[in-house]
Structure 1
């Protein structure tokens, strides 16, 4: 009884204390714009910051008179008096701040904060509970790049490879790229990773970008590298109309570029309803000169094949977004967003392939290809926000998305044939190559007295691999020397005859039919806040890769010679690979005209026999593992708190739990006496579950208003992608003579992360930051080149996936971003921005004696730009650099000893260092009109991969420069 009385007394006392207090809330703006991250303190003691909608709230405030002290970097400080009454909430009128040094006559574009400038980005960075960077719409619109993935290159520690984005040089799969807070489904014709390809979503539809280097429990846990959230256009704060139209020139294809985008938005008279509709179109003619080399064996660096590709195409991208918000009451609102994107590439490829080693003997193969690559993305989300009371807030989110890739219909797909990337191949007669040298089996000097291998082998070698020290071609001037095996004269078009017509087929679909989450925030006091929530995502996908072939009827059809077709020059401008001095000028055979390619099957239908990829096809067993399906269910929950034990110290931490359930199926080969060829397909299924426990803590210490010291510790993870865990037989990569086997026993990768960072802010003029990080990684996933006798296939390379043991990544990051306004006169319009991220990593590879850097881990990324903004002029030149790194390990094992043959990295595959230089200039013609020019890839840096060392290239791609000129209209 006495305990009940005591409890009642305590509750009654609490109620009495609460009854002596009230609350204060309001919105802070700059004109029509809301301002996030504004510091609001009560009498200079306790305080809070405004949220993303500019709203602040102070609870449990003593009754009586108080003064709100409001500060925001780049704005004049403001003191605002309030009278707090017992049991009541003071709703301040919209509080307006003014920028420091505000100039009335300045030519300036004004929109909502998400279309706003550097001040808002810096303030969001300053007050965040985690380490992040924000790229505003103003910065995005001034970027020399139009592709979403390329816009973000200027951010510190960001690397872009094949339109895939990574942070701190870590593998792209370790960085979670979100769109409006959701992990988009992926569907890419080449890459089966979980990484979203932003090519289908243009940068003109992006409002701002948040780059998170540390995490809190309310964020996706699959993010060892970090989280990047791309926010599409938001509802506007006032009537807005923007139009951007440009045209340009692609230097390699010698054809034009077109681009256009618009944004329209408005607000209702009662300010309850606001909306935005934005759309874009990009039409880009492009070209690619791409020599590639295939190396013959795992025991030496001999050349098996040289391919010279000339690619020309048209890429068209369409994008549309719409966003709407309805504020039902001061405490309840609904937001909705829909988005859609489509990218269609119509690509022609001509290839000359010199084959020193071919399954049918040494030959030259001429290929003429056309494919229409069709990507499609659409989806939407509904968000609800309800302030149940002054202390309790509930937010709900429901979304659904769909992504699909398929080949579009081309004229080659005639007579009921399926859509695909069609290739018409001609081959030469049998040849004898005369540029081979005699070595031993391992590529060393031939010695008939060598007891280990006294035999002589004929190999084509690059100069760096010639065991005799002299001779051999340099990689940028490989010149095959050959003659017809029957002794006939030089080859002409009349010597090449049709080998086959075939199509690579691919239909890849992935959808997230249901994404749902709920977040509950409870504020106990201005110093302590709790947050809890859950999220569910269902993912369904399928990847169908196959092959369709026409063969010449051997009974009724004679040979079809290249000279009998309509042809044109392979290199009409005689500038193929001019970067290497045009080494193949005058050596190419003619290629089919576009008209001849498109009508080829119809014209020769009587001579061709179709061979679909089914149980009757003698290649059936090669392809049956290239189709698979999967379903993944992820359920996550978290609990976290934000505690401010003092005004300048904030601790944010908690625990996130993610449970993953994966079902996956594919086919494997079985013997079937009843099948036409004696083999058939048998389905294989796997069912896996695993749970990740992911604690995290972020500490923010602010020694003064201009400085932050941040420390964070967290545990994050990475799920294997669906190709890596695929059961059944291997996925076949035809043009690379490659089989890739999945590993259903592959484990997720986990990382324990430590971050320490110092930030200093020069108002809205810029910031400086320096930090260090360390990641202790377990079960890092890497791609291997290996052999398994039970799966070996003569003449082909086999790859797989494995987990490394304990690994680590450490690094240093530095950023300087400063407008040089302290300089006199003309010079104070200049600004500099430079950042660099150095990393050092180590992994212990099974089978190798020494540790080595992680695969896909870039040791250095750096960005530097010089800008000038004054009056009506804005200009910027930007340089981006990404260091070289390994992508695949050659863990080929000796079939007899089963030991790894290569203990060093000389047979591993590397991505070469990349750098790019871009330029932008704009001029404000009036308050409503801007004109601008852009130049991309000024240095024409190639995309390169190599084996072991840079002078042993595997693939090189040159794109050359692009130029744009355009105008912008702002209402």
Structure 2
């Protein structure tokens, strides 16, 4: 299996690299990137040297350089490039065994200069100038977070990091919402390659699957450009993992955490295996090899076959009580780099391993709606293992990288439910639910210069695998007539998705390849022509079966036997003595239309764009992207031809981003782009899944159309100083055929399905501020204190389709998943020359629509809640080690979803509660050390 094979390769390389000896280094290095000060384009072949010596190197195809073997001391760096003003940077300090980072920006030479112009600056001035250039010169409207910022927050995974970005929020601790638009309107990329949906029952990528310590930087692009995939409306999330190291290192970390709702309390679970702690089921929860097919079960089994199959099923229904352990987190990173003294060619590798185990208790979850009155207690055992292996080789000005990421989440949940339902029964309900998610992503990328005039080519080959495995979701239901004291009895006369065992497995492979070409052209003041081609093929298999034991006919003919056996406690209800006595027959729910399906899609795209410097102050990035899309979704068994999906269409997606630089510190931006949102496989498949927590079915709609979106943006940007910003943005989005979810309740059972709204409009504004507080008073304390906030306000109106035959309420309503406001704020302070840092963070999301109303069930909204996190970090052992104390979700406010019965968009006494619970506050102490 590819995932296990890759993991074994990672472990083999780990042991090999651990045998390396890390020697003390007496010399230091200087490294960084050289860019154009007006466009941030990398400068290939720029010469970086130490003044007064013969030591020098040329930048590679990414504009990067590394000067090694430098004795500790203070130096002046000289940078030269044809057509640009030469630059001298003084006061560059080199320390033994360390890398001094020096990014440089260069200005084009003026055409009427009579003699060479040399720009002189200090190390600090040069670093500030390069950071300015990167901030100002982005072609599109975007926001991002670097690894340095991630280190200063208590964020454990990428989902936690994303909620710090302007206009972004997180749902269910893993799905991202941007500009108030639901997760299905966003796309994600990892190391330049698209990421598929990780979910069985929605279009979404589970960002908690990528640990934050593996991330080099994260960017959310909010306006499209032709060189980006066109399948997004809210934002394109681009994750870059750590690149090649500048020097050898070994780093390790460990942490322990206390959760106020869980740690030290009684923790109930099903059977636990040692391999669960490693993130892998030991195989005992899977269907046995050679288990009878659905057809064989439907055609009838012999007595011996029935007995053999029942014996092979996972049969430990005991509920084990232990004590919830503290959260544990371990990390190990190793970097190795070698350089040829003759050629200057470099080979480097980074290997990182992460491990996390968390045991969470969600007690007294309230579910009170439409005749249901339930109290749930849920216990989730989670293990997350991750591995990263990045290899790179630079030769001349060329660079080739091979990046690999593997992550696995093992979530084993037990849920106990008490209460009564709308059928007049008291209920005791039990669910044992194991879900294993895994992501494997491998990318081979090359960057090469072409000629001596700045042209370059980039190519990328990528493979991805997503696994979502539910090998043993067991559910059992006991009932009695409400208002009586009768004994509870297990429901064993019929098999439904509510009381069966689900065996489901989603496996998807993706293959992509692309090439990009760029070259300077003589057009206006300065221009770059870019063009590219990309193909992406996805292939998914989803297999699911609903199996369980039911009373045999001989038992059903004996009411006394039925009463006696069905009153047994859960741990003896399906005991071997009853199976051997012929009490049960194996049953399976027939799936027509089939819940299992296969799906594939092929996307071919090409683009052409121009990056024009029209004048010294005016820049236009414009062009078009063409995407041809073919998708097929086929149920394993189907009776109606309409259940089988085949769609094939081509879209032209133009875009233009205009930037006017009022001053060196102020930009005005405007953009237009056409994007789209295609239905995900799950949204098209007729497969029906019962969600025992939502008490509803989830099912796709084969005739869904793609959504077309026109996007308009304006933005004012002010950069008071490096790393600081004040910006105001406005945006408007026009949707045609928006894809949304609603409560289809035409029958007695609620089913969450998808449909196309006729049209929808979203408009809003964003404000972002990041500023040190020394403007209040010029003191060192305020200079080292930074306040930041980003606020997004949005409003949407969606119109339900008319004469569609759908059972929908309300002609107009908010767009599903759209939040009216998002607030992120924080305060950061550095003490004692950055040896002590403090960071406080605040997040709040306005009330947002989760599911649209059907004929009976009202709109489902999520109640706003405030989240405060904090971190205190202390560097120790001469800054090689760091202690961090993190406090997460200090306020611990309830997470609540409700049915808005009176349609006043407020959670009050007239409303029903779909779910409401607290997840507790988490306090963590961690230690990291780098050799």
TM-score normalised per structure 1: 0.73
Shift of 1:830: 1.8
- Provide the residue aligned with 2:161 in structure 1: 151
Residue 214 (str. 1) matches residue 214 (str. 2): no
Q: 2:477 aligns with which of 425, 442, 446?
A: 425
Q: Do the aligned partners of 2:40 and 2:138 also contact (CA within 8 Å) in 1?
A: no
Structure 2 counterpart SS, 1:199: helix
1:147-202: per-residue Cα shift (whole Å, max 9, x none)? 2101121111011112111211112111112111222233324x331x21122221
Whether 1:912 and 2:854 are equivalent positions in the alignment is no
How far residue 828 of structure 1 moved from its aligned partner, in angstroms, is: 3.2
Residue 474 of structure 2 contacts residue 502 of structure 2 at CA under 8 Å; is this kept in 1?
Answer: yes
CA contact (8 A) 1:37 1:127 kept: no
2:679 counterpart (707, 720, 724): 720
State the match for 1:496 in structure 2: 488
SS in 2 for 1:214: coil
Q: Which residue of structure 1 lines up, in the alignment, with residue 134 of structure 2? A: 124
Measure, in 2, the Cα distance between the counterparts of 1:634 and 1:624: 28
Aligned ranges 1:33-112 → 2 under 5 Å: 33-35=31-33, 37=35, 39=37, 49-51=40-42, 97=89
| Aligned partner (choices 423, 428, 436) of residue 374 of structure 1 | 436
The 3 A distance-change label for structure 1 pair 112 and 80 is closer
Match of 2:349 in 1: 275
Match in the other structure for 2:812:
851
The residue correspondences of 1:777-926 to structure 2 (distance < 5 A) are: 777-786=735-744, 793=747, 795-822=748-775, 823=777, 824-847=779-802, 850-871=811-832, 872-892=835-855, 907-925=858-876, 926=878
5 Å-filtered alignment, 1:934-945, equals 934-945=886-897
* TM-aligned CA distance change 1:563 to 1:730, over 3 Å: closer
How far is 1:611 from its partner?
Answer: 5.7
- Aligned equivalents of 1:669 and 1:610: distance in 2? 30
Q: For the residues of structure 2 that align with 1:813 and 1:179, how far apart are their CA atoms?
A: 26
**Is the aligned partner of 1:508 residue 2:506?**
yes
Q: Secondary structure at the match of 1:938?
A: coil
Q: Is 1:317 matched up with 2:270?
A: no
Query: What's the CA shift string for 1:565-608, capped at 9, x where partnerless?
Result: 5xxxxxxxxxxxxxxxxxxxxxxxxxx6xxx48x9544643367
Describe how 1:231-310 pairs up with structure 2 within 5 A. Answer: 231-254=240-263, 255-270=325-340, 271-289=345-363, 291-293=365-367, 295=369, 303-310=370-377
- Cα deviation, 1:685-744, whole Å, max 9, x if unaligned, reads 221111111100111121222121111111111101222222x57555566554445333
Residue 581 of structure 1 corresponds to none
1:931 aligns with 2:883: yes
How far, CA to CA, are the matches of 1:687 and 1:136 in structure 2? Answer: 42
Question: How many Å apart are 1:33 and its aligned residue?
Answer: 3.4
Q: Following the alignment from structure 1 to structure 2, what is the Cα–Cα distance between the partners of residues 798 and 161?
A: 21
Match of 1:634 among 603, 619, 625: 603
How far, CA to CA, are the matches of 2:153 and 2:175 in structure 1? 18
How far residue 683 of structure 1 moved from its aligned partner, in angstroms, is 9.6
8 Å Cα contact 2:157/2:209 also seen in 1: no
Structure 1 residues 638 and 563, CA gap change in structure 2 (3 angstroms):
same
CA–CA distance in structure 2, aligned partners of residues 938 and 314 of structure 1: 22
Q: Is the 8 A contact 1:875 1:922 kept in 2?
A: yes
Match of 2:209 in 1: 200
Alignment of 1:682-701 (within 5 A): 684-701=643-660
1:834 Cα deviation (Å)?
A: 0.7
TM-score by length of 2: 0.76
CA distance in 2, matches of 1:782, 1:528: 41
**Rg larger in 1 or in 2?**
1
- The match for 1:179 is 190
Task: Return the alpha-carbon distance in structure 1 between the equivalents of residues 885 and 131 of structure 2.
Answer: 25
Pair 1:711 & 2:670 matched: yes
- The C-alpha deviation readout for 1:192-226, integer Å capped at 9, x for no partner, is 31x21122221111111011111210001001112
Following superposition, the deviation at residue 380 of structure 1 comes to 0.3
The answer for the alignment partner of 1:606 in structure 2 is 580
Quick one: distance in 2 between partners of 1:732 and 1:959? 24
Deviations 1:850-875 (A, max 9, x none): 53221111110010111111212101
Q: Is residue 2:532 matched to residue 1:533?
A: yes
Deviation at 1:292, TM superposition (A): 4.2
Alignment partner of 2:812: what SS? coil
Tell me the residue number matched to 1:436.
Answer: none
Q: Deviations over 1:342-361 (max 9, x none)?
A: 11122222111312x33xxx
Please give the per-residue CA displacement for 1:870-927, whole angstroms capped at 9, x wherever unaligned: 21210111110111111222242xxxxxxxx8xxxx8111122132111111011232
Superposed displacement of residue 294, structure 1: 5.8
CA distance in 1, matches of 2:888, 2:601: 40
Structure 1 residues 96 and 277, CA, compared in 2 at 3 Å: closer, same or farther?
Answer: farther
- Following superposition, the deviation at residue 533 of structure 1 comes to 0.6
User: Residue in 1 aligned with 2:149?
Assistant: 139
The residue matched to 2:826 in structure 1 has which SS?
Answer: strand
Structure 1 residue 684, shift from structure 2 partner: 4.4
Change (3 A) 1:214 1:907: same
The separation in 2 between residues aligned to 1:57 and 1:856, in whole angstroms, is 51
Q: Is the 8 A contact 1:36 1:124 kept in 2?
A: no
| 1:49–1:113 CA distance, 2 compared to 1 (3 A) | closer
Match of residue 22 from structure 1 = none
Contact 1:668–1:682 (8 Å) recurs in 2? no
Report the secondary structure of 2:783's partner residue.
Answer: helix
Q: Residues 560 and 425 of structure 1: is their aligned pair in 2 closer, same or farther, counting only changes over 3 Å?
A: farther
CA–CA distance in structure 2, aligned partners of residues 705 and 106 of structure 1 = 36
Partner residue of 2:64?
Answer: none
* Corresponding residue SS for 1:960: coil
Deviations 1:259-313 (A, max 9, x none): 1112211221325212211111111111113534364xxxxxxx32122111112
2:402 counterpart of 1:402: no
Could you list the per-position Cα deviations for residues 313-333 of structure 1 after superposition, in whole angstroms to 9, with x for gaps in the alignment?
221111111111111222x22
Counterpart among 581, 586, 590 of residue 620 in structure 1: 590
Per-residue deviation, 1:233 = 1.5
Separation in 1, partners of 2:726, 2:574: 62
Show structure 2 runs of 5+ residues with no match: 1-27, 49-73, 105-123, 264-324, 493-498, 556-560, 803-808, 901-905
Conserved 8 A contact 1:550-1:609: no
Deviation at 1:931, TM superposition (A): 0.4
- Aligned residues of 1:657 and 1:693 also touching (Cα < 8 A): yes
1:389 Cα offset (Å):
0.9
- Aligned partners of 2:168 and 2:179 also within 8 Å: yes
Which residue in the other structure is 1:166 paired with? 177
CA distance in 2, matches of 1:106, 1:390: 36
Show the counterpart of 1:7.
none
Task: For 1:805 and 1:427, locate their aligned partners in 2 and report how far apart those are by CA, in whole Å.
Answer: 44
- How much has 1:765 moved relative to structure 2? 4.5
Q: Which residue of 1 aligns with 2:282?
A: none
Alpha-carbon shift at residue 801 of structure 1 (Å) = 2.4
Is contact 2:501–2:548 with CA below 8 Å preserved after alignment? yes
1:118 and 1:796 map into 2 onto residues whose CA distance is 61
Secondary structure at the counterpart of residue 555 of structure 1: helix
Aligned length: 762
Distance 1:37 1:646, change over 3 A: same
Give SS of 2:644's match.
Answer: strand
8 Å Cα contact 1:158-1:166 kept in structure 2: yes
Partner of 1:745: 703
Per-residue CA shift, 1:17-39, capped at 9, x if unaligned?
A: xxxxxxxxxxxxx9533136551
Native 8 Å contact 1:210 1:229 kept in 2: yes
